[in-house]
Amino acid sequence: MIQAFFLSLGQLFDRPILAVFVKSVLLTLVLFAAASIGLWFGMHALADGISAWLGGWSGSEAFADITTILLVILFHWLMFRAIAVAVIGIFADEVVAAVEKKHYPGAHAQAIDVPLGRSIAMGLGSAVRLLAINLLLSPLYLILLVTGVGTALAFFLVNSWLLGRDLGDMVAARHMPRGELRGWRRRTSIGRFTLGAVGTGLLLVPILNLVAPVLGAAMATHAFHRGRRAQ
């Protein structure tokens, strides 16, 4: 995995991968900006409604502004990974193809390009799966707060597993029928978890989290093909 990381890092400025990085970051920022603007208008409408109900409230504007800022921060913390992975899922085929063309030309020649519709469906599926499972486990996260580190550890483990699945599927979709994916996932669970752990760690680091999805897709490509060679 260390070699895969440095190979991916070395290819980060190749034109096709750099283009995906720029597109994915711009789309992620646009989605966050749209969500933040929506929160601002929503909170001000709510504050105006409360003010009217109370017969006038001088602090309604300040309340709306402060609440919006807090919600945007919370939204960024909770949603960045989901949106970033969903976005890179749309462009992942370009990253995988660029890595294969340079390092695995034989596999690249036999690969089947993933249709845009399926890429979008996979990206959205990743985001929905992340949100659903983390919401389902939120009571456990709250209980583990008493341990001091249990919540952070559980969150890291769960999201490493989820990210490893998503990144692996981005590559496997080019090389095997859908019916074979489940068996492949079982056989590669440890490797994909390791991949997901590296990606999750990068997503937690400011600035690096912007490039983490692209690096993750490139690393997943190396992990997939090196794993097949070892079988």
Rounded average pLDDT over 152-156: 89
pLDDT digits (tens, 9 = 90+) for 1-24: 778 888 888 888 888 899 988 888
Backbone angles phi, psi at 181, to 5 degrees: -65, -40
Q: How confident is the model at residue 194 (pLDDT cuts 50, 70, 90)?
A: very high
Whether this model's pTM surpasses 0.85: no
Contact, 86 vs 163, CB < 8 A?
Answer: no
* DSSP sequence for 148-216: SSHHHHHHHHHHHHHHHHHHHHHHHTTTS-HHHHHHHHHHTHHHHHHHHHHHHHHHTSTTHHHHHHHHH
pLDDT digits (tens, 9 = 90+) for 45-59: 877 777 777 666 666
Closest CA to 47 of 37, 58, 36, 38: 58
| Half-sphere exposure in the Cβ direction for 128 (13 Å, CA) | 6
Q: Other C-beta atoms within 10 Å of 76: how many?
A: 13
> Does the pLDDT at position 193 exceed 90?
yes
